[in-house]
Structure 1
Amino acid sequence: MKQFEYKVENIQIQLKNDIDFNTLMTERLNLFGEEGWELSGVNGTVFYFKREIL
C-alpha cells in the first residue's frame, strides 16, 4: 500500500507594482513540485501538499 507524507504551508505573497501575482505563485509552487510535493488542497492562504514515501 502506498504511504504519503504531508506538508502544510501558509503562503502569503506581498506584491510590488511591477510583479504579477500569478507569476510569483507559479514560481513558488514549482519549487515545491521540484521537491516532489503535489498540491492536494487549498484553504485561503494555507496550501496542503503530499508526496509518496518511497
Structure 2
Amino acid sequence: MKQFEYKVENIQIQLKNGIDFNIAMSEKLNSLGKEGWELSGVNGTVFYFKREIS
C-alpha cells in the first residue's frame, strides 16, 4: 500500500519590476516538483502537496 507525506505552503509571490507572475509562480512550483512534491490542492494562497514515501 502506498504511503504519502504531505506539505502545506502559503505561497505569496512578491513581484519586482518586469517580473511576470506566471513565470515566478511556475518557478516556485517547478522547484517543489523537483523535490518530488505533487500539487494536490489550492485554497487561495495555501497550496497542498503530497509525495510518496519510499
Q: Name the Cα RMSD after superposition.
A: 0.6
Residue of structure 2 in register with 1:51 after alignment: 51
2:41 alignment partner, SS class: strand
Q: Per-residue deviation at 1:15?
A: 1.1
TM-score by length of 2: 0.96
Residue of structure 2 in register with 1:34 after alignment: 34
**After TM superposition, where is structure 1 displaced by more than 4 Å over at least 4 residues in a row?**
none
Gaps of 5+ in 1: none
Q: Per-residue deviation at 1:16?
A: 2.0
How many aligned residue pairs are there? 54
Identity rate of aligned residues, in percent? 83
Q: Deviations over 1:7-52 (max 9, x none)?
A: 0000001112311000000000000000000000000000000000
TM-score by length of 1: 0.96
